[in-house]
Chain A
Amino acid sequence: GQNIDQPTEMTATEGAIVQINCTYQTSGFNGLFWYQQHAGEAPTFLSYNVLDGLEEKGRFSSFLSRSKGYSYLLLKELQMKDSASYLCAVRDRSGYALNFGKGTSLLVTP
């Protein structure tokens, strides 16, 4: 089975940096994904890690440690539009199924 944990809510200030953590315990691992979901909209793909280390994509970076079952999403130079829910998802060994955490609701304040 899969057990994926993320903080429920976080608040940060415009222009700052925020780190959203995700820990997982899985019976199989085939990559970790981060998605962003604005209220009333569909989740959109942000990043993917399958090997240990940091992947950088503009203002967003994602880190993975497979031995620790740990990932984080780092958002730099926060903007008001970054207020959204951030979903951590682990792909299982089959390569087909994504199991999502319950999401972290991020509020960016002026």
Chain B
Amino acid sequence: DTAVSQTPKYLVTQMGNDKSIKCEQNLGHDTMYWYKQDSKKFLKIMFSYNNKELIINETVPNRFSPKSPDKAHLNLHINSLELGDSAVYFCASRSGIAVGAQYFGPGTRLLVL
């Protein structure tokens, strides 16, 4: 199936741990994103890569580090996890042509204990 996929879907971990979330899209899109959706359901952009280059880097703690090994993958590594990092993290991708709507992955539900 053509889609944006993320792993894992659920992640429960202790404060202070380091964890990674992976994202892959097979839509042939050039641009990929990471969003954080908090408990109040507010969806906020964190990072964006276009053809493996970082183009958006919002005010995010430097414990969060994105990596794009190729334009179909965008991973998110989080160091020294804190309670406030608990949220749903969505990956998205978009085409550079036409409407350019963003298509979202299923989300990773992160709970930091």
Contacts and interface: CB of A to CB of B under 8 A. Distances in A.
B48 interface: yes
Contact of B102 (A37, A85, A98, A105): A98
A102 B106 contact: no
Interface residues of B, number: 21
Given A42-B90, A42-B107, A43-B90, A100 B43 contact: yes
Interface of B is mostly: strand
Nearest to B50: A96
Contact of A102 (B41, B45, B55, B104): B41
Given A42-B104, A43-B104, A96 B40 contact: no
Interface string B54-88: 01100000000000000000000000000000000
Interface of B: 31, 40-45, 48, 50, 55-56, 90, 99-107
Interface of A: 31, 33, 37, 41-45, 48, 85, 87, 91, 94-100, 102-103, 105
6 contacts: A33-B101, A42-B90, A42-B105, A48-B101, A94-B55, A96-B55
